[in-house]
């Protein structure tokens, strides 16, 4: 399978005959599924919750791809959907269990400690706990920049925030993570 550009995938998806729609969408999912999974997983920690959110993200992408205006890049548009789905999930979780924000982070930290992948890599576990100690927005910005190596301009589209505010958030997050790692 050769790698299609986003533009080629959109053209195939929008083929008036409809012959290419499912094929193009499957290629789109294959192209971005791992990146979207990693982005969401770093936010919610739990594999099952992540899979549900990835599925919800791609359902929304499928339902809205026909109306995608191409004002932004396709992957930033999908990251925005994934981020919004994830933040809505975390917010609903807090409401459902009447938990203050700190308790949700504590629960995620517990799941992290029980996860065999992170237990095998003690430094990664410490880093993830440090990231979980960040406020939600800083955590999102840190993950997008550190793990996804996303440009600030693209993050600005995903999070609907100015580049300057994102740079400040990342700087503050980085300082907090460094202090956390030095403390432990």
Q: What is the mean pLDDT of residues 32-40?
A: 94
Confidence of residue 100 (pLDDT cuts 50, 70, 90): low
Confidence of residue 89 (pLDDT cuts 50, 70, 90): very high
Beta strand spans in 14-157 (E): none
Side-chain-side CA neighbours of 59 within 13 Å: the count stands at 7
Note the pLDDT tens digit of each residue in 71-88: 889 999 999 999 999 999
Cβ neighbors of 141 (< 8 A, separation 6 or more) are 155, 159, 166, 169, 170, 173
Residue with tokens 């932004």: 72
Give the integer Cα–Cα distance in Å for 155 and 49: 23
pTM: 0.77
Confidence of residue 107 (pLDDT cuts 50, 70, 90): low
Q: pLDDT at residue 62 above 50?
A: yes
């Amino acid at each position: 399978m050769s790698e299609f550009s986003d533009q080629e995938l959109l053209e195939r998806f929008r083929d008036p005959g409809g012959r290419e729609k499912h094929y193009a969408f499957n290629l789109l999912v294959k192209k971005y599924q791992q990146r979207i999974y990693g982005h969401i997983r770093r936010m919610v920690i739990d594999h099952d919750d992540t899979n549900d959110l990835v599925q919800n993200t791609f359902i929304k992408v499928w339902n809205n791809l026909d109306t995608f205006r191409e004002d932004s890049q396709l992957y930033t548009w999908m990251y925005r959907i994934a981020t919004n789905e994830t933040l809505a999930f975390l917010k609903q979780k807090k409401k459902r269990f009447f938990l203050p924000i700190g308790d949700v982070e504590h629960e995620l930290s517990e799941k992290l400690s029980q996860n065999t992948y992170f237990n095998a890599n003690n430094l990664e576990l410490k880093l993830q706990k440090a990231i979980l100690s960040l406020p939600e927005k800083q955590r999102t910005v840190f993950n997008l920049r550190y793990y996804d190596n996303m440009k600030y301009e693209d993050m600005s589209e995903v999070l609907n925030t100015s580049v300057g505010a994102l740079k400040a958030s990342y700087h503050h997050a980085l300082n907090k993570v460094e202090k956390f790692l030095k403390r432990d």
